[in-house]
Each structure stands twice: as C-alpha cells, then as structure tokens.
Copies of this chain bind each other. A is one copy, B any other.
Amino acid sequence: MTPDPADLLLFARIVEAGSFVRAAERSQLPTSTLSRRLSALEEQLGERLLLRTTRTLTLTDFGAAVLEHARQIEQETAAAQALAEHRQQAPSGTLRVSMPNDFAAHLLAPMLAEYGQRYPEVQVLLDLSPGRVDLIAEGYDLVIRMGALPDDASLVARRIWNYCPGLYAAPAYLAQAGIPAHPADLEHHRLLCLLARSGDPVSWELQFGEERYTPQVAARLAVNSPDMLLRLAEQGLGIVGCSPVFAASRLESGRLQPVLPGWRLPMVTGWAVYPGRRLLPLKTRAFLELLEAFLSFAR
C-alpha cells in the first residue's frame, strides 16, 4: 500500500516547525494526532524518519531523503489550492458556449463584447450550430436553447428569457394579399413557420389578452432559422411569427410591418443549460450574470 500523502505532508510540517507542538499549532491539530500519524507513517515505510527526544528532533538521513518528496507534496497541494483561489477571484480558462445564431446576433453581440472586455483571461468559444449539442460529451460549459428544454437530470436549465412572437409581413405582401383583421383571416394567408427541432408542426394558437383563437392553418414554409424566416417575409413570401426583438430593425426601416397587432403566439422560453447545479465555474457564473443583466434590458 502506498503511504498516505497527507502523512508525508504532516511530516514536512513537523520538520519545518521543528517540534510537534508548533506544528500542531500551525496545522490546527492536536499533538497526539501528529505523533500517531508520524508513527504510523514510519511503521508503513519501515524505518524511522525522526529521532525524537522531548527537547530535540533530529532527522534520520532516510528522513532527509523522504523530506524532499514530502516538501514537493506540500508545494503541490499549495499550488492546487492557489489555482482554485485564483479561479475564485478572476475567471479564466476557456468558456465553450453554444447558442442559436440569431440569438447571438440580435441580442448578445454587445454582451459578448462586454464579457470579453471584463474577463480578458477567458477565451470564449462560441458555437452557433442550430442543432442541440451534447453538453457534457462535447465539453460545453453553457448551452442556450429556445423552446423545449432537454429534461436531463444531470443538467440544470435556467429560464433566461421569454417572448411572445408577434406576426409580421412585408408591406408589399399585405398590399397584395390584404391585411387580416382577425386571426380567422389567416386561413387565407401564407404562413411562414419556424421549424421546431422535434419536427412536429407548430400550432398557431394566437392570443390577445384573455382572448384566444387558433386558426386551422398549416405553415406554407418552415425553416429552422429565424433570421432566414424574416428575410423570406421581407421578400413578401408571407406572414411570419417571431420575436419583436428580432423583427425590430426591419420594422423601423419599414421593410416589415406588424400584422394583427396585439395578437401574440404562445410564449417561447429561452433556457440556459449547464451541467451540475452548484460549483459552477466562475467564468460560467459571470457569463450567466452578464447574460441576465443584458436580457433584462432587452425585455
């Protein structure tokens, strides 16, 4: 059996302190423990390390040889602790984040800039692939996804954002197909739908305050990229349902305009998913905090 490195560490401390009692004071341990542990270590190694008198401790030359290794152990444990403490104060390392492309482009660009400036020691690796990634297997620290969250017990999902998509279309399209006055009118329109990952069709369950209405329509086109969806709507392909935030720039420039204002699609929730509930790396915690701060503005 290999010796307990903790005992070797204690041995180093005893030698440094020069006596059992001083080592006990520094280590916050009773002298009895030190005495017992050292004896056990000697027993295990099969040779004495220290010759002890009540007044003096002298190293065996075997003890001197072992002491070198014991000091190394002491130094390495201290290094490990220092590493941890440094982490506690300044986030560092590599942060691997995966999030939808549009989410990053429309909402997170300034936030990412701020994060990079505030924590220069963290290297951010941003993945914008739309598909879900295996958080742990692929080594991601954080994954942001819209809609359905993965029910993985080892993962923790945190609600970071939500929105109720509104309906938007290009003025040219509305001039040609007419402006709907009620959800029921949508049955005669071309609807552009965001393709859910699960592949099942999205129901257009519209609501306006307490009032609800679900037109019996099928989407004419489904894409898995909100940005592409908006671009298609801009080209006059139909009516799109998406977040007001995403549509904002096109609304301002007049390339899109609201349809059935006040009516909203069901709430979509954005989740931040990360492994484990506690002991989150500081870099991740910092990212989440900054994320929430920015999203509370964008709400």
- A positions within 8 Å CB-CB of B: 2-6, 8-9, 42-48, 51-53, 56, 58, 60-62, 65-66, 69-70, 72-73, 76-81, 83-84, 87-88, 93-94, 136-137, 139, 154, 275-276, 279-282
Asked if residues B279 and A56 are in contact (CB atoms below 8 Å), the reply is no
Asked if residues B281 and A60 are in contact (CB atoms below 8 Å), the reply is yes
State the oligomeric state as a number of copies: 2
Asked if residues B58 and A136 are in contact (CB atoms below 8 Å), the reply is yes
CB neighbours of A61 from chain B (8 A): 93-94
From known contacts A4-B6, A137-B56, infer whether A80 and B51 are also in contact, taking CB-CB under 8 Å: no
CB neighbours of A47 from chain B (8 A): 84, 87, 279-282
CB A150 to nearest CB in B, in angstroms, measures 13
Asked if residues B77 and A62 are in contact (CB atoms below 8 Å), the reply is no
CB A18 to nearest CB in B, in angstroms, measures 15
Asked if residues B279 and A46 are in contact (CB atoms below 8 Å), the reply is yes
Asked if residues A80 and B48 are in contact (CB atoms below 8 Å), the reply is no
Cross-chain contact of A77 among B5, B42, B154 (Cβ < 8 A): B5
CB neighbours of A45 from chain B (8 A): 80-81, 83-84
